[in-house]
């Protein structure tokens, strides 16, 4: 893949992730800052590094699977893998301003 194709695919992945919501918070996981990294290989394998709002999140099983599924379904994606980490821990400072406005934090 060319750098331009990777950048385009990255934008498509981000758009797909903006359709995934934490079930307890009315903000998508990308704006919440739960996505730490999106890596796209030359063969269109997508690796996503993400976290959850807490280690005991009720969606700990379903959310990463939904991220993987939404990513894998995108045209041009060869494979998708999701790794959940808790370091660094998620904090409200990781949210973008739109998420903070939605939650009346800004």
| Structure confidence by residue, pLDDT tens digits, 57-99 | 777 788 999 999 999 999 999 999 999 999 999 888 898 898 8
> Is position 25 within any domain?
yes
> Is position 106 within any domain?
no
C-alpha distances (whole Å) from 83 to each of 12, 27, 31, 38, 99 are 19, 21, 18, 11, 23
Q: What's the number of domains the chain is made of?
A: 1
Cα distance between residue 103 and residue 100, in whole Å:
5
For residue 65, the domain's CATH number is: 3.30.300.130
Range of the domain at 33: 3-95
Cα distance between residue 30 and residue 87, in whole Å:
17
> Is position 29 within any domain?
yes
> Is position 102 within any domain?
no
SS3 85: coil
Name the residue among 52, 51, 48, 53 with its Cα closest to residue 37. 48
Split at pLDDT 50, 70, 90, the class of 55 is: confident
Cα distance between residue 82 and residue 1, in whole Å:
21
Split at pLDDT 50, 70, 90, the class of 18 is: very high
> Is position 39 within any domain?
yes
> Is position 22 within any domain?
yes
> Is position 13 within any domain?
yes
């Amino acid at each position: 893949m060319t750098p331009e194709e990777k950048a385009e695919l990255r934008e498509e992945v981000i758009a797909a992730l903006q359709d995934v919501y934490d079930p307890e918070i009315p903000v998508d996981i990308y704006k919440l800052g739960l996505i730490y990294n999106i890596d796209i290989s030359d063969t269109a394998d997508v690796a996503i590094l993400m976290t959850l709002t807490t280690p005991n999140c009720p969606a700990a099983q379903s959310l990463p699977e939904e991220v993987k599924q939404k990513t894998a379904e995108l045209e041009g994606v060869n494979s998708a893998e999701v790794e959940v980490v808790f370091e660094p821990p998620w904090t409200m400072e990781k949210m973008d301003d739109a998420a903070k406005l939605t939650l009346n934090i800004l």
